[in-house]
């Protein structure tokens, strides 16, 4: 499980950074990746990355501002040309379907794959045996959502070497032990499941928030997350401007991470006024003073999501 940034700029693209798109790579977990937001030019950024659109399984839109949305019709069309035939689901706020219906129908775009569009107003938006995605409303000029991705705990594996030392071969007994049942062998030896099943692996939680002012809706999404991705459009000297524009400062993002007792914070969605990585350093330092485990997002860089020990 890794985070990969395709765009980290706010509002408009610059020569240094593109507009928002964040990738959650789930190669080990699902042999696919998920994308959060798709600003204009995202498909071009994908070409410069190791990602292949055929592996894109789900796309989540936080809100319908252009810098998070305008790359979508082009990327969806190109996915077909690049051999993408597996179904794709796009999740986002109401209005997403109308936007895609118009863009794709007037351009007569035909996709060689099943495209499903799911509009939501928060709550549980996806769940299967291994993952769950919940959304919650934030506070922005238009409805903007945050997503909380929860990887479910995976049951502990069997210690097969130990079982084989007892003379037990794979079969129904292995199944019983895996379910936690103790078994007795033909020679009368009792084997306790607790002895031969390893510790379950704790799932990870990643929270990706859309554009927002500090608001009560952020906390339940970020609570206890292993990684929180939060916008930091401005440094704290522009807190007043951040409030007026319905955005956050780096310090405000860090305050949320601290309150939510998150493990790590990644800042993104930087104003174009901060051109170089050097000019972003004050944002990082301000945030780290509040929440030390903070890093700045950087395009084409990979940020692993570590398991808790
Ligand atoms: Zn934005
Ligand atoms: Zn916005």
* CATH of residue 290: 3.60.15.10
Do 26 and 168 have their domain in common? no
248 alpha carbon to ligand 1 midpoint, in Å?
A: 11
Annotation says 67 is catalytic: yes
Do 42 and 101 have their domain in common? yes
Predicted confidence band of residue 166 (pLDDT cuts 50, 70, 90): confident
* Number of domains comprising the chain: 2
pLDDT at 187 over 90: no
Do 94 and 168 have their domain in common? no
pTM: 0.92
In sequence order, the 6+-apart residues with CB closer than 8 A to the CB of 213 are 138, 139, 140, 242, 243, 246, 247, 248, 252
pLDDT at 244 over 90: yes
121 alpha carbon to ligand 2 midpoint, in Å?
A: 17
pLDDT tens-digit profile of 89-99?
A: 999 999 999 99
Do 147 and 212 have their domain in common? yes
Residue from 67, 153, 211, 237 carrying the catalytic annotation: 67
Separation of alpha carbons 1 and 304, rounded Å: 6
Please check whether residue 269 is in contact with residue 11, taking contact to mean a CB–CB distance below 8 angstroms. Answer: no
User: Does residue 85 belong to any structural domain of this protein?
Assistant: yes
Closest ligand by atom to 270 CA: 1
> What is the separation, in whole angstroms, between the first and last Cα of the chain?
16
User: Does residue 33 belong to any structural domain of this protein?
Assistant: yes
User: Does residue 58 belong to any structural domain of this protein?
Assistant: yes
Query: Which residue range is the domain that position 264 belongs to?
Result: 2-152+203-304
Predicted local confidence at residue 128, as pLDDT: 96
Predicted local confidence at residue 157, as pLDDT: 87
Predicted confidence band of residue 179 (pLDDT cuts 50, 70, 90): confident
Percent of the chain with pLDDT over 70: 100
pLDDT at 309 over 80: no
114 alpha carbon to ligand 1 midpoint, in Å?
A: 29
Residue 299 per-residue DSSP state: B
């Amino acid at each position: 499980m890794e985070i990969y940034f395709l765009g980290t700029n706010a509002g408009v693209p610059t020569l240094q950074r593109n507009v928002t798109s964040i990738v959650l790579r789930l190669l080990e977990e699902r042999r696919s990746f998920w994308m959060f937001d798709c600003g204009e030019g995202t498909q071009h950024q994908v070409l410069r990355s190791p990602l292949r659109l055929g592996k894109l399984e789900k796309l989540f839109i936080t809100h319908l501002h252009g810098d998070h949305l305008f790359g979508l019709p082009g990327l969806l069309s190109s996915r077909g040309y690049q051999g993408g035939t597996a179904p794709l689901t796009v999740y986002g706020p109401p209005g997403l379907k109308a936007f895609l219906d118009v863009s794709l129908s007037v351009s007569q775009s035909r996709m060689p794959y099943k495209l499903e569009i799911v509009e939501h107003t928060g709550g549980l938006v996806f769940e299967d045996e291994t993952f769950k995605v919940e959304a919650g409303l934030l506070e922005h000029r238009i409805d903007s959502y945050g997503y909380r991705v929860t990887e479910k705990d995976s049951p502990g594996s069997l210690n097969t070497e130990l079982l084989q030392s007892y003379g037990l071969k794979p079969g129904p007994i292995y199944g019983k032990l895996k379910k936690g049942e103790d078994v007795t062998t033909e020679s009368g030896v009792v084997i306790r499941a607790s002895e031969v099943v390893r510790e379950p692996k704790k799932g990870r939680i990643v929270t990706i928030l859309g554009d927002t002012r500090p608001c009560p809706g952020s906390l339940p999404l970020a609570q206890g997350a292993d990684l929180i991705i939060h916008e930091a459009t401005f440094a704290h000297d522009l807190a007043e401007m951040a409030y007026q524009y319905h955005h956050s400062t780096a310090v405000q993002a860090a305050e949320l991470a601290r309150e939510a007792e998150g493990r790590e914070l990644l800042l993104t969605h930087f104003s174009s006024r901060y051109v170089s990585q050097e000019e972003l350093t004050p944002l990082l330092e301000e945030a780290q003073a509040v929440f030390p485990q903070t890093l700045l997002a950087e395009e084409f860089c990979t940020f692993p999501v570590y398991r808790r020990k």
